[in-house]
Structure 1
Amino acid sequence: MSGYPERDVFFVSNSVNELGGVTSWSHQMARLFTGRGHRVHVVGIAPAEVEQELGELPYRTKTLHSGRPPRPGRARRASMREQAARLTALFRAARPGAVVIVTQVWAMEWVELADTRSLTVIGMSHESYAYSKAAGRFRRVLKHYRDVDRLLTLTREDADLWIGEGLNNASYMPNPLPFMPDVPSPRTANVVVSMGRLHDQKGIDMLLDTWSEVAPHHPGWTLRIYGSGEDEELLKKQCTALGLDNSVEWMGSTGAVASALRGGSVFVQSSRGEGFPLALMEAMATGLPCVAFDCAPGVREIVRDGEDGLLAALGNTGELARRLGTLMSDKELRDRMGAAARANIQRYGTDEVVRRWEELFAFLER
């Protein structure tokens, strides 16, 4: 344990196994804390609508509601109080020094109904301040995270913006590197890889518009899209309408992320909003130079524009196309930026990030 006390650590999220980066982050951290001697509990408010496969877990999980909670009204309030009482029972069984990490603001509505006296409560926002404001979660963060012991964002820039809104408990904590493959991509295949949920936030529609500008100038190159989601049918229709079916491959979801990334030479991210995107980190760890929309402080902290990847203004598909074309046309540049990406991303190694968490727990316990 490197001198840090063992604790009960509760992760409370919307769902235990919903598809998305927050779930991946939660279970990565749960494994890391378990490996350091903490007793970890992962709690979901309701079952996931779209699940991800988690495999065997070395810690306990629990879902409070058996289905979606009732609609707002008296029945919902009664149901929430009932499930909050289950949370209270879990919290009361914890050892002294226990920490509750609420990964999504919706889940905080249940935690604040539970008895958290003598526990440290940390609320998190896994998206940028700007995207939170645009997505309508802004007022909920202001309301439900105002009195937690610490509000954690993913970047200093976002923390400063929340402090400007009066949340003086705001600070920041970056995501840890999901993995570091022993073997990087050789960057020899004429393949651009995209990886993410097929959902409006991830901007795959803008990526297809971008590819329609790139593909005619780069025959023999393929855009390989990994992911599934509610927009799949619409996106495939758009792909066909743009005449891209011969140069776009729809790969579906994959559990073999490193292998999928090693099959590409460039990674592209076209998101409308992000926090501290794991997919970019995974691609860089695999040695891929990244091209991305500069949609959040986390993106420009991860990618050093012109050194280990290239950024484009959010929504400017023409600029994103030119950035992609630059890397697709120049193998020497791809190799140089890919090697720099693999070296630079190691600053977010798991040991360093976990140490920062341990120090935060100790500070908040005082």
Structure 2
Amino acid sequence: MEKQIHIAMLIGALTKGGAERVLVNLADYFAGEGYQVTMVTQYRKENEYPLNERVKRVISDISPQETTGNRLINFKRRFTKLRNIWKSEKPDVILSFIGKNNMMAILTSRFLRIPVAVSVRAEPGEEYYNSWMRFMARHLFARADGVVLQTRRCFDFFPEKVRRKAVILQNPVSAGFFRERYEGVREKTIVAVGRVDENKNHEMIIRAFGEIAKEFPDYKLVIYGEGERRQTLLELVRERGLSEQILLPGSIDNVADAIYKARIFVLSSNSEGVPNTLIEAMVMGLTVIATDCPCGGPADLIESGKSGILIPVGGTENLRDHLRRLLEDTKQADTLGMEAAKTAGAYRPENVYGAWEKFLLALAMNR
């Protein structure tokens, strides 16, 4: 029997990315617990995460027939369609993820007596990337019923009236990553996982490993993920004659299995919220190297030199030196991995999902 609380979730699409995975995991949990869950996305795209069959999917974008050459008219129609979705679905609480979706969730639900929680999934100054969006986020979020931020550093972006409503909630980690740390002979691979775009800066890993690849001919660098930079990076690899040692196989479904026995995991982003892929690597006990990027997610996760290594953003030479040292001293690498595995307790599903459930139910009950 379904519980009475109806949770609606809003995001642009369910394409494979960190924020999308968090929301799909949350939807799966709440549906499994018997809640009524509606997933509202503006688009349906290829390469999406699969959604629990008990979750209702609603598309909020206007049809090609409704689209005009006038952007203002198109916006008004999208606004009206989303507001009508809230009116017809009648959720008890709305959870929105990312950028303009958060603004739309607040604006379209005004005076409908539906509590709204907005979640900023990255560095706020990056997610709200121009002066108009920053102004709106800083002031409009005061009208939300709850605000979910990723790190303590994120609080500094917002005025006190928003900070009073803000909480930090951990990202749920898929159950497949919770397994005993692999203690056998590790594969001679360095791995990275994530969207292959400018921000993830996988080029830095390619250049760093490329400088020591001849010293470690048995090792491979494998970068899992799709994105607009993939073909450019493949060309860079070919130019350097490293196609046998550096691989970019694209997106895969079984990430946990693919990286489980890897020697080192690298996160090279210019900015991040709290990166799922880094949490997942640490939960499995991999040796991790990550940039100390804003808004401070990696620094919240890693005690540098104990449970992993933090390096400067864009620090190619620094990364190269740490890779060389850890590939030469695998005992030290394993020590770091064993410490990383100790972070698993904080991300166990029962703890993380329970906190999200308590947060959303409190909002729903106060409507």
1:138 is aligned, of 134, 141, 155, to 134
108-117 or 225-234: bigger deviation? 108-117
- Is 1:83 the counterpart of 2:92? The answer is no
1:129 is aligned, of 105, 124, 127, to 124
Distance 1:354 1:56 in 2: 16
Report the 3-state secondary structure (helix = DSSP H, G, I; strand = E; otherwise coil) of the residue aligned with 1:201: coil
Contact 2:24–2:51 under 8 Å retained in 1 = no
Structure 1 residue 327, shift from structure 2 partner: 1.7
Which residue identity lines up with residue 348 of structure 1 in the other structure?
Y
Contact 1:108–1:144 under 8 Å retained in 2 = no
What aligned pairs does 1:88-103 form with structure 2 within 5 A after superposition?
88-92=86-90, 94=91, 98-103=92-97
Q: Residue 25 of structure 1 aligns with which residue?
A: 22
Distance 1:162 1:301 in 2: 19
- Is 1:284 the counterpart of 2:282? The answer is yes
* CA deviation map 1:93-116 (0-9, x unaligned): x4xxx1100112222343222456
What aligned pairs does 1:195-274 form with structure 2 within 5 A after superposition?
195-274=193-272
Structure 1 residue 79, shift from structure 2 partner: 1.6
Distance 2:86 2:267 in 1: 41
- Which ranges in structure 1 are unaligned for 5 or more consecutive residues? none
Q: Residue 192 of structure 2 aligns with which residue?
A: 194
What aligned pairs does 1:1-12 form with structure 2 within 5 A after superposition?
6-12=4-10
Structure 1 residue 53, shift from structure 2 partner: 4.1
- How many aligned residue pairs are there? 357
Contact 1:225–1:251 under 8 Å retained in 2 = yes
Distance 1:187 1:284 in 2: 18
Q: Residue 104 of structure 1 aligns with which residue?
A: 98
Distance 2:337 2:261 in 1: 14
259-268 or 31-40: bigger deviation? 31-40
Q: Does the C-alpha gap of structure 1 residues 152 and 53 become closer, same or farther in structure 2, counting only changes over 3 Å?
A: closer
Structure 1 residue 336, shift from structure 2 partner: 1.6
Structure 1 residue 363, shift from structure 2 partner: 4.1
Distance 2:179 2:313 in 1: 33
Report the 3-state secondary structure (helix = DSSP H, G, I; strand = E; otherwise coil) of the residue aligned with 2:211: helix
Contact 1:123–1:148 under 8 Å retained in 2 = yes
Q: Does the C-alpha gap of structure 1 residues 205 and 165 become closer, same or farther in structure 2, counting only changes over 3 Å?
A: farther
- Which ranges in structure 2 are unaligned for 5 or more consecutive residues? none
Report the 3-state secondary structure (helix = DSSP H, G, I; strand = E; otherwise coil) of the residue aligned with 2:94: strand
Which residue identity lines up with residue 95 of structure 2 in the other structure?
I
Q: Residue 155 of structure 1 aligns with which residue?
A: 151
- Is 1:357 the counterpart of 2:356? The answer is yes
Structure 1 residue 148, shift from structure 2 partner: 0.6
Structure 1 residue 14, shift from structure 2 partner: 0.9
TM normalised by structure 1 equals: 0.88
Contact 1:187–1:262 under 8 Å retained in 2 = no
Distance 1:225 1:7 in 2: 41
- Is 1:41 the counterpart of 2:38? The answer is yes
Distance 2:163 2:123 in 1: 15
Distance 1:356 1:152 in 2: 12
Contact 2:180–2:284 under 8 Å retained in 1 = yes
CA RMSD of aligned residues (A): 2.6
Distance 2:169 2:287 in 1: 24
Q: Percent identity?
A: 21
TM normalised by structure 2 equals: 0.88
200-209 or 114-123: bigger deviation? 114-123
Distance 1:152 1:254 in 2: 29
Q: Residue 58 of structure 2 aligns with which residue?
A: 62
Q: Residue 173 of structure 2 aligns with which residue?
A: 177
Contact 2:291–2:312 under 8 Å retained in 1 = yes
Contact 2:40–2:57 under 8 Å retained in 1 = yes
318-327 or 273-282: bigger deviation? 318-327
Q: Residue 332 of structure 1 aligns with which residue?
A: 331
Structure 1 residue 328, shift from structure 2 partner: 1.3
Report the 3-state secondary structure (helix = DSSP H, G, I; strand = E; otherwise coil) of the residue aligned with 1:61: strand
Which residue identity lines up with residue 233 of structure 2 in the other structure?
L
1:52 is aligned, of 38, 43, 48, to 48
Contact 2:80–2:108 under 8 Å retained in 1 = no
Report the 3-state secondary structure (helix = DSSP H, G, I; strand = E; otherwise coil) of the residue aligned with 2:108: coil
Q: Does the C-alpha gap of structure 1 residues 281 and 167 become closer, same or farther in structure 2, counting only changes over 3 Å?
A: closer
